[in-house]
Amino acid sequence: MSLKPIPVQCHILKNLSYQEVWDFQYLLHNDIKRQKKSKYYNVSSPNFTNHLIFCEHRPVYTLGKSASTDNLLIDDSKLDAQSIELLNINRGGDITFHGPGQLTVYFIVDLEQLYRDVHKYVRNLEEVIIRVLDDYKVVGTRKSDFTGVWVDDNEHSAKICAIGVHLSRWVSMHGIGFNVNTDLDFFNNIIPCGINDSKKSVTSLSKESGTDVPLDEVQRKILIACKAVFGFEYINPLSS
């Protein structure tokens, strides 16, 4: 069954702080909510669009709405020494890391054009990454008790992609943090996503595939997977 086309504008942001990218998310998010309040709102209007933001953040730890500061294992002085930011944000979930080598993708999308089902939305975000991993002969899996995408090895599981979302009036914010060539040592400073389990850790695509992978290559594969999973139709997909 073909999906209804969903118009999406892509943005590639470089050399911006986390706060600057977050502010841009809010700008786009509030614009869609404003349009939805209008009696003339119509997703088919040439003036309406959803958004994908691609970026590679400077090192930052973000704490979601359910985060515990006990899961941050270093103090302010060590954060400063390593030039790592720390921010409280409004997505779901606990603490995670964003930084160089990680492809972070923010989905600013009116879910009412898809479905009113947050659980299905998160599962479909996972599906996008599972399809991308398959292109690299890496098997991505889901965990019933945890969001995100995992790679299993015997009794051990490692998260390769974190997912955190926020919705207001069914318009989404935040999205995925996909470890492509990420320096995994940054995760030693936290209990990632608050999961304190010796049988669970964090991994990256480069670690699993045995080679560094160009981020722009992964970005293109994410666009293809999002088109298949969500029905996205892109407007100038390489704009920045």
Which pair of tokens denotes residue 171? 């318009």
Cα(71)–Cα(138) distance, rounded to whole angstroms?
A: 29
> In the chain, what's the furthest Cα-to-Cα distance?
55
Three-state secondary structure call for residue 91: coil
Nearest alpha carbon to residue 94 among 175, 163, 168: 163
Q: Which residues of 69-86 are buried (b: 16+ CB within 10 A; e: fewer)?
A: eebbeeeeeebeeeebbb
Helices (H), the chain: 18-37, 76-81, 118-135, 205-209, 215-230
Cα(195)–Cα(18) distance, rounded to whole angstroms?
A: 24
Between the CA of residue 85 and those of 3, 6, 56, 175, what are the distances in Å? 40, 35, 14, 19
- Which of the residues 10, 55, 161, 193 is marked catalytic? 193
- Residue labelled with tokens 């009794």: 155
Asked if 226 is an active-site residue, the reply is no
Task: State the angle between helix axes of 215-230 and 118-135 in degrees (0 to 180), rounded to the nearest 10.
Answer: 130
Give the amino acid at 32: I
> Which residues are the active-site residues?
193
